[in-house]
């Protein structure tokens, strides 16, 4: 199970307030990683007591987990999480984020999760457990 977390900095605030654009990004990610959509895109315009923390938060459920997005226009920042129980091309996920948001900087965190999951074939699960020790 892969979980890719991307923090993109220096994005256009105008782009990050474009609801149609953000919906498109969320809607296209499942196809890019070869996953089946299990829900429509949910996107919310968040207003807080601190206007600097206002922005859009959204997600789409895929058959094997989710893609989520948090856009912070005042900071020019986007946080993306792509989590799936099925393998996907992490480099393609990163390329697509760079293409769509044009950040000047990006932090990438990749985590292999649920290494003892009963979904994994037994031999693979044992191998991954040994690698963790």
**Active-site residue numbers?**
65, 70, 85
- How far, in Å, CA of 78 to CA of 46, rounded? 14
Rounded to an integer, what distance in angstroms lies between the CA atom of residue 64 and that of residue 128? 20
The DSSP result for 13-29, as a single string, is HHHHT-HHHHHHHHHHH
Q: What are the structure tokens assigned to 20, written together?
A: 């149609």
């Amino acid at each position: 199970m892969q979980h890719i977390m991307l923090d993109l900095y220096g994005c256009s605030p105008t782009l990050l307030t474009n609801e149609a654009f953000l919906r498109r990004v969320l809607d296209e990610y499942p196809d890019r990683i070869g996953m089946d959509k299990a829900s429509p895109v949910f996107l919310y315009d968040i207003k807080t007591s601190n206007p600097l923390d206002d922005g859009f938060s959204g997600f789409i459920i895929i058959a094997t987990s989710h893609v989520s997005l948090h856009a912070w226009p005042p900071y020019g920042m986007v946080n993306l999480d792509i989590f799936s129980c099925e393998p996907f091309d992490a480099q393609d996920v990163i390329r697509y984020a760079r293409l769509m948001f044009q950040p000047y900087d990006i932090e990438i965190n990749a985590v292999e999760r649920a290494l003892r999951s009963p979904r994994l074939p037994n031999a693979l699960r044992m191998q991954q457990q040994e690698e963790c020790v």
